[in-house]
Chain A
Amino acid sequence: MSLETFWKSPTDLKFPLLSKEAKEKEFIDGVTDDFNPNELKGLSRRKFLALTAATLAVSTVACTDYHDKGEIIPYNKKPENVIPGIANYYASTCTGCSNHCGILIKTREGRPIKIDGNPDDPITKGKICAIGQASILNLYDPERYRKPRKRNGTNFSDIKWQEAFNELLSKVKLANNTGSEIAIITPKIESPSQKRLFELFLQKYPTTKIYSYDTMTDYPRRRASELCFLTPEPPVADISKAKVIVALESNFLGNEGNFVKNIAQFTENRNIDNPENFNRLYAIEGIMTITGANADIRIPLNPTKLLDLVLSLISDLLNVKQIANGTVYEKVKNYNLEKFAKENNLETKQLKYLLRDLVENYGKAVVIAGDKMPVDLHIAVNILNDLIGARQENNESILIHDFETLLTPLSTLNDFEELIQKVKSGKISVLINFDTNPAFDLSSMEFESLMRKIPFTATMTDSETETALASNLIFPINHNFESWGDYKVSNNTYTTQQPVIEPLYGTYQKEDILLGILNEKLDKNSYHKFVKETWSTQIFPQSNSGVNFNEFWTSVLHDGVYQLPSSKTSFPKINYDAINSITQQSKSGYTLTLKNSYNTANGKYQNNGWLLELPHPISKITWDNYAVVSERTAHKLGLESNKMIQIKANGKLMEIPIFILPGTVDDHFSIEIGFGRRAAGTIGKEVGFDAFPITTLKQMFEGYLMNLEVIPLPNKEYKLATTVEHHSLNDNFTKDLAKKRHIIQDGILADFIAGKEIVEHTHDAKSIVPEIEYNGVKWAMVIDMNKCVGCNACVVACNVENNIPIIGKDQVQRGREMQWIRIDTYYTGNQDNPEVANQPMLCQHCDHAPCENVCPVVATTHSPDGLNQMVYNRCVGTRYCSNNCPYKVRRFNFYDYRDQFANHYQKADSLALMMNPEVTVRSRGVMEKCTFCIQRISEAKASAIAEGRQVRGTDVKTACQEACPASAIKFGSSNEPDSELYYWRNHKLGYHVLEELNVKPNVTYIARLRNKVETKI
């Protein structure tokens, strides 16, 4: 059949052609006339569909909450060596204080996030102090100066760099041309490049005078060294060579000298596996310090009596050892220990033991006097040290003259007194503050009012200071981590400093500015070149390295440390005549010592919240300073802690709250300097009380030990923010609980050597639930309390590593401090001379964690490798876990602690850069605690997987372990029988805190052995 015979309708059948036509035209005539796709303003069906699909895709993508999309630019050309997610480490030097410890700066994605010690530094061997750890906060301080500022009236306004520089240059040239002085106030100059810079500057501008000072320096010891050894550089002690150390009001383990090195050297001989070679530390001091807390024998004594003590020791020593020394004998013939003991109500026996130890350990004993003690005491101590063989002309000597010359001498009292005269007579027309703050710490010479008399003052600083606010021109400078530099740290050792980030705010190094004045042209990279030149001309030639300079320089920068092949030490003979310059000055009435601060580098870091919030190692007070006083004296004055007193010293007044601390001698006060700054940003506002104004300039050079008048102000109270409850040791109810509850277990070294049991195990019960098997790695920690001195470096390291917020003084007063690890300091015995124990306390990661079963939402769980985990996003914040934790190591975010200060300080963008990207930043209402640095464990696991092996306990170092200068913290897996951790965990002297609760903690504490002379003092 043909096609034409098919039909669909009658019409089809009747009129086939007509319907065929109709079929070809799909729509009825007219319907589609208006529909012309080409006239649809460009929107065809195809286009429409395409657009719809695109919109859908775009909107889907845009609907995600990924607000950084479009802002994160992946590396098109990846910078060399930068792999996102992998950290780079750069060697540099810390400039927190003048110890200049070598550091390694950990950077992530091109910005520094953590500082640790440089293991290649021969002096500090990879450790730094709490201040060094926390100094990273200053880099990212939201209140750093960004632009130069010029004063008009009482306000400052931003000006351009070139303008500021030109003004300074013109003022300097004018001063030079008119013969008037250009005064530059600098810190201690220990950098060869800085020294060269100043030398060149002095050549070009001969009217310049450099005034360098450092409040943390031991001026009295230096003066005594001048008198005794004819060099201002005193010998440096290597404590590890000493078996007997006598600290006379010296806090060499706490904050004097290079205490990081001291701690490491001291704890070298506190090894419980080598008990025969334990050292013995005597501390004779007026208030409790870290050194006193770690002493085997502590004798409380008013520091004004120390001179008499030393003279008595010398006298008895001359007698016992039959030494003939006429000069010395003349001075000390009327002294002896028995008389001294009687006059001062001490046990003669104790002093005799001290003498015996000094005599029996010739060449292995050293006496150290406090940095701020009078010159006279240091002279006497120098002589005593020579008599006991602490300083000998051989390599075994404890005291070695390791520093030939300070690169630029520190200014003397005379220099400053001349400065005052010159200002008053108008001879100084330009003052440049080279990152110093004399308006604050030289207030003993009323520096601020002096500044106002000088026609033109410029200050180079990175953030607000009193000096900056009193200047005409402020130059914002680079932070340490944005700078180049070099430092001489011993006779033959240099460290280098290199920037790890472009200056955040386009600032210059302070040296760049001076170089600019020198070259009359401000150039960003000038100091970098200058440092290289110094090395190529001064140090490289001595190096015998065999490579060209560039290779040498690169390798030095890489290591961060360079030691010249030969070391020259000297041995000046002692000038015994110096003893005749000692003038006995007895002080009756109330006495006062001023001491370096533990945490603020004498005021420099008063804008660093982490440091201010660190509990003071002895008093556990945060934020402020106070006057330490004994209980008896306070009650005599009718006062309790937190009440205020008015002090009059050197004719000047100040008010300060008191705080009663055990171990303080009566009628004696002690205040830390470096608080009470008037202009230190949001954080540093109204913190503490400034003691510099009641001192005289002379005292900075000759020691801070003075008489004072005290007026009690019982109606004035200042609530100090302390993290613990303080109880008098005279209160029987609360006394000695740490010992009674076996939280602290310690013993006498002699007993241990004799084989007696030191540690008591209080737990023997069996568990009623089946034990969980841990077959792989099981993380555990051991803390050796023989080594922990309580320096707080671990606390700050943990803060930096884990993004711990700063909560502010009022929150600490409420009792909400957020530090995941804390140092518990327990006092036992009597109020006048207690025994002290330091115990770092952190999450114990208990096998039977009491916190885990009480959380209603399963926010805290146990991992198969033995960690107690905290799941932040599940936590609703019932705080039951914290209640059930017997160690109270959990921390709750009662507020959004990242928004705790005025101006949303902690939410600033720059601080966001500082956060460790591997650690969650916790929100309000969430519980947190130590995680055993799970981010580091995860990193180690990832590396192990990449290497195709199992992770090992030794692969991970927690932040606290890394930071501890004494290496008191050990971490690893308790399932590795051949590991160091396993050994310590199962040591005879190891115990757990609160064993009887059967929570099975995984932190073992090694009982402390005290090297006492007899079993009971």
Chain B
Amino acid sequence: MKAQYDYTIEPEVIENSPTLAQINDVIAAPMEAPPTKGWKIALAISSTMLLIGAISLGFSFYYGTGLWGNNQPVGWAFPIVNFVFWVGIGHAGTLISAILFLFRQKWRTGIARFAEAMTIFAVMTAGIFPLIHTGRPWLAGYLFPLPNQHGLWVNFTSPLLWDVFAVSTYFTVSLVFWYVGLIPDFAMLRDRTKEKVKKFFYSLLSLGWRHSNRHWNHYEMLYLVLAGFATPLVLSVHTIVSFDFAVSILPGWHTTIFPPYFVAGAVFSGFAMVQNVLIILRKIFKMEHIITIDTLEKMNKVLLATGMMVGYAYGMEFFIAWYSGNPLESFVFVNRAFGNYAWAYWIMVTCNVVIPQLFWIRKLRRNLVVMFIVGVFVNVGMWFERFVITVTSLSRDFLPSSWDYYKPTLTDFGILIGSFGLFFTLVILFIKFAPVVSISEVKGVLKSSQPHHH
């Protein structure tokens, strides 16, 4: 009989006790080797997807938003769904980087850098959508409170404006946080590299880091402060995004559960995306001992927890829809489950509520294939959740005379594909030119770096 799992001894964060030099070698290896065939193929595929998106966007700018499926009453569809989807994905990174840092969870070190990078790329991808989904994107400047001779300010009571501030703040803080964390690593690379061009750029990016105590002192303090800045953003940014919906009067949108529900959902889909990409990454870069199964298992536990929160929110929405006695409210929810978008609703429920339940079983939690598939389904489910929320509530609202069905067009899909293309292109470029694991932090949790007797 197999021994019972012993939870008294905390498993090593980094397995096989590598030396500091070995850590350097492993993490710097992808940047020092010439681009592999796999990398080139991956970049080609993601660039093609990006190109499809660029072409779709180009047509949309030239001909108009009519190329999409949006209509009256469904004024928001794919572009907003994609926006919320990508902003949501970004939250995993910040949670791992900032919140887990404040909670002193050592297992985050292997994944924090990559997760934070993914946040930035996700927010970049997401940030495109509010600008392009407008009817006149060349006037996007009107959305910013720029002083002008009319004395005209923007409308501060509009959630879309709050989005502008929230997303730009999120992007700025995440970028600064991520960059600050990268400084020691760029310094390490600068010291390692023999090539002149790389040395130039790494020198520039490492801002003259000398590995001195003073530098480390400042670094640790700054990192803590930035983590403190970034932490509330995890909760606030997606709350603001949820206000796009919750502050309106539409039944199905106008509920107070949206902020926590959206935040939980964001973490849920973000973790799924991070976990998916990490599984691939650790294999191709041979970092299985740094990004361990234990780490992945912990991520899956978070996935399960947030998935249950999302499931709870679904249930609670239905309960309140009935309990409130408001016929408009109850209609919306019954319509979601049994109306003309029921197919989307049940995909959402299956993917978000049913499939993650597999993670109760430890063996499945630690199985790479299973967790990868579950992650994919979770992302599909979360995309559909935003779709269901946005489109079904608009499609059948107050006056039955305004009801109409929404059907996406090829351009909509093109832009969606393009967003994935942009995201993955940035990720693929990132793994070639920057360290995917936070070298200094990992070194900090190595057994060999702790004070010990030899």
Chain B neighbourhood of A503, CB < 8 A: none
Q: Residue-by-residue, is A839-856 near B (CB-CB < 8 Å gives 1, otherwise 0)?
A: 101000000001001111
Chain A neighbourhood of B113, CB < 8 A: none
Contacting B at CB under 8 A, from A721-771, are 724-725, 733-734, 737-738, 740-741, 743
User: Nearest CB to that of B405 among chain A residues?
Assistant: A725
Contact: B64 with A876, CB < 8 Å?
A: no
Chain B neighbourhood of A955, CB < 8 A: none
Contact: A878 with B133, CB < 8 Å?
A: yes
For B400, give its contact among A815, A826, A875 (CB under 8 Å): A826
B76 beta carbon closer than 8 Å to chain A: yes
**Separation of A1007 and B448 alpha carbons in the complex (Å):** 83
Contacting B at CB under 8 A, from A885-911, are 886-888, 890-896
Chain A neighbourhood of B208, CB < 8 A: none
Chain B neighbourhood of A814, CB < 8 A: 66, 69, 71
B73 beta carbon closer than 8 Å to chain A: yes
A822 beta carbon closer than 8 Å to chain B: yes
User: Nearest CB to that of A726 among chain B residues?
Assistant: B403
Chain B neighbourhood of A815, CB < 8 A: 71-74, 404-406
B229 to chain A, nearest CB (A): 25
Give the interface size bracket for B toward A.
35 or more
A352 beta carbon closer than 8 Å to chain B: no
Chain B neighbourhood of A724, CB < 8 A: 400-404
A563 beta carbon closer than 8 Å to chain B: no
**Separation of A994 and B396 alpha carbons in the complex (Å):** 15
A815, A853, A858, A927: most-surrounded residue (chain B CB, <10 A): A815
A814 to chain B, nearest CB (A): 5
Contact: B399 with A858, CB < 8 Å?
A: no
- Pick from B1-9, B137-145, B256-264, B306-314 the stretch touching chain A: B137-145
User: Nearest CB to that of B393 among chain A residues?
Assistant: A883
Contacting B at CB under 8 A, from A109-155, are none
A884 beta carbon closer than 8 Å to chain B: yes
A811 beta carbon closer than 8 Å to chain B: yes
Q: Residue-by-residue, is A810-830 near B (CB-CB < 8 Å gives 1, otherwise 0)?
A: 010011110000101110000
Contact: B66 with A822, CB < 8 Å?
A: no
Q: Residue-by-residue, is B206-225 near A (CB-CB < 8 Å gives 1, otherwise 0)?
A: 00000000000000000000
**Separation of A893 and B76 alpha carbons in the complex (Å):** 14
**Separation of A734 and B135 alpha carbons in the complex (Å):** 33
Chain B neighbourhood of A880, CB < 8 A: 75-76, 158-160, 244, 248
Contact: B65 with A877, CB < 8 Å?
A: yes
Contact: B133 with A858, CB < 8 Å?
A: no
Chain B neighbourhood of A740, CB < 8 A: 327
User: Nearest CB to that of B136 among chain A residues?
Assistant: A925
For A816, give its contact among B66, B159, B250, B402 (CB under 8 Å): B66
Contact: B248 with A925, CB < 8 Å?
A: no
A625 beta carbon closer than 8 Å to chain B: no
User: Nearest CB to that of A850 among chain B residues?
Assistant: B249
**Separation of A858 and B398 alpha carbons in the complex (Å):** 25
A740-B327, A882-B75, A883-B394 known; A853-B400 Cβ under 8 A: no
B181 to chain A, nearest CB (A): 33
Chain A neighbourhood of B450, CB < 8 A: none
**Separation of A670 and B185 alpha carbons in the complex (Å):** 79
Chain B neighbourhood of A22, CB < 8 A: none
**Separation of A879 and B66 alpha carbons in the complex (Å):** 13
Please report whether the interface of chain A is mostly helix, strand, loop or mixed according to DSSP.
Answer: loop
Q: Residue-by-residue, is B60-98 near A (CB-CB < 8 Å gives 1, otherwise 0)?
A: 000111100111111110000000000000000000000
B164 beta carbon closer than 8 Å to chain A: yes
A877-B136, A924-B136 known; A743-B76 Cβ under 8 A: no
Contact: A858 with B155, CB < 8 Å?
A: yes
A857-B142, A888-B397 known; A882-B155 Cβ under 8 A: no
**Separation of A895 and B67 alpha carbons in the complex (Å):** 8
A878-B134, A886-B399 known; A816-B160 Cβ under 8 A: no
For A854, give its contact among B137, B158, B399 (CB under 8 Å): B158
User: Nearest CB to that of B400 among chain A residues?
Assistant: A737
**Separation of A997 and B404 alpha carbons in the complex (Å):** 22
User: Nearest CB to that of A737 among chain B residues?
Assistant: B400
B204 beta carbon closer than 8 Å to chain A: no
**Separation of A20 and B158 alpha carbons in the complex (Å):** 83
For B66, give its contact among A878, A886, A895, A923 (CB under 8 Å): A895
Contact: B247 with A854, CB < 8 Å?
A: yes
Chain B neighbourhood of A850, CB < 8 A: 248-249
**Separation of A926 and B71 alpha carbons in the complex (Å):** 14
Contact: B142 with A876, CB < 8 Å?
A: yes
Contacting A at CB under 8 A, from B330-382, are 331, 334-335, 338-339
B44 beta carbon closer than 8 Å to chain A: no
Contact: B66 with A811, CB < 8 Å?
A: yes
A424 beta carbon closer than 8 Å to chain B: no
A201 to chain B, nearest CB (A): 53
B293 beta carbon closer than 8 Å to chain A: no
Chain B neighbourhood of A883, CB < 8 A: 73, 75-76, 248, 250, 394
B197 beta carbon closer than 8 Å to chain A: no
B157 beta carbon closer than 8 Å to chain A: yes
A874 beta carbon closer than 8 Å to chain B: yes
Chain A neighbourhood of B394, CB < 8 A: 883
Contact: B159 with A924, CB < 8 Å?
A: no
Chain B neighbourhood of A826, CB < 8 A: 400-401
For A896, give its contact among B64, B164, B331 (CB under 8 Å): B64
Contact: A741 with B327, CB < 8 Å?
A: yes
B328 beta carbon closer than 8 Å to chain A: yes
User: Nearest CB to that of A927 among chain B residues?
Assistant: B135
**Separation of A857 and B158 alpha carbons in the complex (Å):** 9
**Separation of A924 and B139 alpha carbons in the complex (Å):** 12
Contact: A824 with B66, CB < 8 Å?
A: no
Contact: A997 with B64, CB < 8 Å?
A: no
For B70, give its contact among A817, A854, A858, A879 (CB under 8 Å): A879
B262 to chain A, nearest CB (A): 17
Contact: B249 with A997, CB < 8 Å?
A: yes
Contact: B66 with A894, CB < 8 Å?
A: yes
B152 beta carbon closer than 8 Å to chain A: yes
Contact: A876 with B143, CB < 8 Å?
A: yes
B389 beta carbon closer than 8 Å to chain A: no
B105 to chain A, nearest CB (A): 38
B161 beta carbon closer than 8 Å to chain A: yes
A924-B135, A994-B398 known; A857-B155 Cβ under 8 A: yes
Contacting B at CB under 8 A, from A964-1017, are 993-994, 997, 999
**Separation of A839 and B401 alpha carbons in the complex (Å):** 10
B102 beta carbon closer than 8 Å to chain A: no
Contact: B65 with A856, CB < 8 Å?
A: no
**Separation of A48 and B45 alpha carbons in the complex (Å):** 66
**Separation of A891 and B65 alpha carbons in the complex (Å):** 13
Chain B neighbourhood of A890, CB < 8 A: 72
A725-B404, A737-B400, A858-B152 known; A853-B249 Cβ under 8 A: no
Chain A neighbourhood of B398, CB < 8 A: 741, 743, 886-888, 994
User: Nearest CB to that of B398 among chain A residues?
Assistant: A886
B425 to chain A, nearest CB (A): 27
Chain B neighbourhood of A927, CB < 8 A: 135
Contact: B159 with A854, CB < 8 Å?
A: yes
Chain B neighbourhood of A733, CB < 8 A: 334-335, 338-339
A733-B338, A876-B135, A894-B64 known; A841-B399 Cβ under 8 A: yes
**Separation of A876 and B65 alpha carbons in the complex (Å):** 12
A-B contact pairs, 27 of them (CB 8 A): A724-B400, A740-B327, A814-B66, A815-B71, A815-B73, A815-B404, A816-B66, A850-B249, A854-B160, A854-B247, A857-B142, A858-B152, A876-B134, A877-B135, A879-B70, A882-B72, A883-B73, A883-B75, A883-B76, A883-B248, A883-B250, A886-B399, A887-B398, A890-B72, A893-B64, A894-B71, A926-B136
Q: Which 4 A-B pairs have the closest CB atoms?
A: A877-B135, A925-B135, A815-B71, A894-B66
Apart from A814-B69, A858-B153, list 14 A-B contacts with CB within 8 A: A724-B401, A724-B402, A733-B338, A811-B66, A826-B401, A853-B155, A854-B155, A856-B143, A876-B143, A877-B65, A886-B249, A888-B397, A924-B135, A994-B398
